[in-house]
Amino acid sequence: MSPTRILLLTNRDSDNVGDQIIEATVLSIIKGVMKNLGFGTDDFVISSRAAGIISRRYMATKDPELLTAARDEISKADLIIFGGAPLFNYAYQNFYRRTIVTLELAQEYGVPVIFSSIGVEKFDATNEKSQALKKALELPVVRQITTRDDIESLRKYAEGTNVPVAHVADPAVLADIVYRKKPEPAPAPKPVPSVPVRAKRKLKRIVKSIVARSAGSNVAKPATAPIQPVAKAPVAAEPKPKPQRIGLVVTRAGIFADNRIDFSEDDQRRFWLETIALLEEKGYDYRLFTTGHFSDEVFLDTLIKSSGIPAKKAAVTVNSPDELIRELRGCSGVIAYRLHASITSFALGVPSIGLSWNFKVPYFYESVGYGDRALSPEEWQAEKVVTAIERAMKEGIVKDEEFLKSVYNTLFNGIRDVLAPGNPATPYEFSELWEGMPRQLATGPKGYRDKVNRKLRRTYENYQKLYDKAQSTD
């Protein structure tokens, strides 16, 4: 009997390392669910592909030949899971169109579809794009939709259908489980000495004992000399404790204009420099980094070169989840523009302040009980932000395990209803996820090269587009 095939669609090939963490976490959740349901590792196969399985070229040309690869993947699947991607985005992205075509192909081949913890943009009854998406979600193959942010809009998208919807945690809140450190192997027991070795050691002990007794009985004891005071060695000064490090996660220059926020590249540069100055004044260490977007790295590189920030205070390039998690684990607190730096920090138990440039940032902080840690543009001032991170570090993080597990529970229910209806199993308890969900292995040399090559290719493509645009306006 052939294994059950699950097609997982995420933003796995994004430069944003946060999206790569989501893919790894959703993969681990699915494997945990299948184990929870009694499937062996040979009973199922997960094919992880980019959510944009429908190519841009097809969307531009409608050439049916360009759908061949997507048709092949979808037709072979027993279940399609969209995991944690912003699939409904239509405001200044066209991702929603590719989502619609994917659903139409799934309907053609009769493959059930689950949307798990996806990003949802505002429902707009007057917007043609929003309405086209709503119509596609009425297809019978859609079995479940959960979102990590705008549940009210999701309810409007699903209105008139029987599709179950829910607000759940972002998959990355389980990153501490998925990226747990490899357990140290138990030390090997010392080998038992061989019989000849044991005999030799015993003989040595006997000889030493005889010699000592003989010397003690025949040798006169010398007169005792007065005891001289022993000079005490100077006490070494205790090493100074390392200052707490604050992670500073920058973003690209144009993101604010894209979201209609009056905050320029110079404004962001000034904000970070004033924040760094205040942190140093208060005795903190700091570390600048990004979540991997090339355009974010361009801003950071320029900031360092133009402001004289020491190179050791920054990680200009971040290309893998391992690198981002290492940076976050080295921090006592994090101030971030990028949402998945905040979410992964939360998973790792590192308090953070989110600088809110769109609605998704406050949605996350409110969902985990720390709405006051999302600061609006009016509050992007060094004094306010540093005060906020100090307060967050003092308060720490308390996790609502039931909410964190919501992304697991709903995916468990959705997968069970499609692949194992009637299965009496119940979802793992939160404490059981550490054993039930497999650990993500570190990125190997080949995987790392592939990530960097994809990033460079997209960068060159974007430069070419900018060049062509500049040439056309000359």
Domain count, the chain: 2
pLDDT at 346: 98
Tell me the CATH number at 65.
3.40.50.2000
Q: Is the pLDDT of residue 368 over 90?
A: yes
Residues 388, 254 within the same domain: yes
* Residue 117 · residue 407 · CB < 8 Å: yes
Residues 271, 419 within the same domain: no
Query: Is residue 465 in some structural domain?
Result: no
Q: Is the pLDDT of residue 188 over 70?
A: no
Residues 160, 16 within the same domain: yes
pLDDT at 231: 61
Check residues 428 and 225 and name the one with the higher pLDDT: 428
Query: Is residue 178 in some structural domain?
Result: no
pLDDT at 192: 61
Query: Is residue 58 in some structural domain?
Result: yes
Residues 305, 410 within the same domain: no
pLDDT digits (tens, 9 = 90+) for 243-286: 999 999 999 999 999 999 999 999 999 999 999 999 999 999 99
pLDDT digits (tens, 9 = 90+) for 17-40: 999 999 999 999 999 999 999 999
Give me the domain span that covers residue 121: 4-169+405-428
As given in the structure block, the two tokens for residue 395 are 């308060």
Residues 391, 413 within the same domain: no
Residues 160, 261 within the same domain: no
Query: Is residue 286 in some structural domain?
Result: yes
Query: Is residue 233 in some structural domain?
Result: no
Q: Sorting pLDDT into bands at 50, 70 and 90, what band is 45? A: very high
Average pLDDT over the chain, rounded to an integer: 90
Residues 274, 293 within the same domain: yes
Query: Is residue 220 in some structural domain?
Result: no
Q: Sorting pLDDT into bands at 50, 70 and 90, what band is 464? A: confident
Residues 274, 346 within the same domain: yes
Q: Sorting pLDDT into bands at 50, 70 and 90, what band is 473? A: confident
pLDDT digits (tens, 9 = 90+) for 94-130: 778 889 999 999 999 999 999 999 988 889 999 998 8
pLDDT digits (tens, 9 = 90+) for 146-174: 999 999 999 999 999 999 999 999 999 99
* Residue 246 · residue 335 · CB < 8 Å: yes
Residues 416, 345 within the same domain: no
Query: Is residue 54 in some structural domain?
Result: yes
Q: Sorting pLDDT into bands at 50, 70 and 90, what band is 14? A: confident
Query: Is residue 218 in some structural domain?
Result: no
- Whole-prediction pTM: 0.86
- Give the residue-averaged pLDDT of 3-8: 98
pLDDT at 470: 80
Q: What type of residue is 143?
A: R
Q: Is the pLDDT of residue 335 over 70?
A: yes
pLDDT at 241: 84
pLDDT digits (tens, 9 = 90+) for 190-212: 666 565 656 566 666 765 666 56
Residues 394, 421 within the same domain: no
Residues 121, 14 within the same domain: yes
Residues 137, 267 within the same domain: no
